[in-house]
Chain A
Amino acid sequence: MSRRAAAEHRLAWLLCAPAVIAMLVVTAWPMLYAVWLSLFRYDLRFPDQRQFVGLDNYLSVLGSETWWQALFNTLLITVGSVSVELVLGFVFALVMHRALIGRRLVRASLLVPYGIITVVAAMSWRFAFDPTTGFVNALLGLDGAWLAERWSAFFVIIQTEIWKTTPFMALLLLAGLTLVPEDLLRAARVDGANALQRFFRITLPLMRPVIMVALLFRTLDAFRIFDTVFVQTRGAQGTDSVSIVGYNTLIARLNLGLGSAVSVLIFVCVLAIAALYIRGFGIDLSRREDA
């Protein structure tokens, strides 16, 4: 290696060091610490009774109905919101792509849900569906206590997630739409392909990489759902998400051992989802690094 190359390596590592150290110290190390804590019986209310228990915490989490219900709930919210977001995001992206008048207005208004604090969005929808303060019941001629029952609460939660994050999906898809060559679509139109055929045979296949990346990010993001559930139900009526269970165990009940086992299991789930997307659907993330 030449001296110049060595100097370049040194400079590069010097520049990267602060960020890399920060990421290692504040994420990698706490994650390892969580794995370590999960092997102990460790309740902050009784710190003297700290004791190594091996995999007992995992066994009690995996043996509890709370965990499996929360996992089911989280997957339900994830699949429910991300699938609707994909369709709705596509519609919004097409509107922005095709609308001649008001395109900027549409884009600007879509940035509003993106920019709003999630807690605020969740509050607004909670008040809207509330039987005392809300307008939804009056509008629909119903008198339901939406957040007091499990399935209608899920509807409100998923609906809030969709409202808040569809813009992100739509903006990514819009960027993907602009990569589809207009000539190709025009040629297909001349050859007699109708709008649906053009969309399913040309636009969709060409956008596959963008769609997969958007889906991966949104799925992982939706799986972490915490704010909306916390504000709207606090996990009552059987609407716990796994993050809520983790928070309740760790912070509300101060049970670090058991809570860390929950944390590690959530991390494993996230890894599994990422692996499923990357292996199963063949997203090539590394390709994008050399762009």
Chain B
Amino acid sequence: MNPIRKRRVYSILFVLLFSVSGISLILYSLNSNLDYFFTPTELKDRNIPSEKRIKVGGMVLNGSVERASSTISFTITDYENSVKVVYEGIVPDLFKEDSGVVVLGILRNKTIYAEEVLAKHDENYMPPNIEMNNDN
């Protein structure tokens, strides 16, 4: 390779190195601030002050869903810790026990009073009949 091209290769590598390290430092310092939601365990560890709007995500604990007129209450769990959620409104169709959920709400007395409930689904896709045989 001739010297001019070699110099160009070095300058490209140099620019790449700088942009990669710059962005890495930014992302590293932002760290968990880029997380979309807290898990119940993070919620417990971080001592979030009450009356603060937060997003919490996890699985809906099996058997925890209770409906009373327009209010629904359930427990979000990450199978280590869990937190109770109260919500008034309509939940998405995909909301069900043992499946993913993200809520936005205010934390008060260890209960989240949700303003928004979103369903989170995973990356598994399969026909309904196969699910029965694959239940491990």
Partners in one complex: no
Q: Which residues of A contact B (CB under 8 A)?
A: none
Residues of B within 8 A of A (CB): none
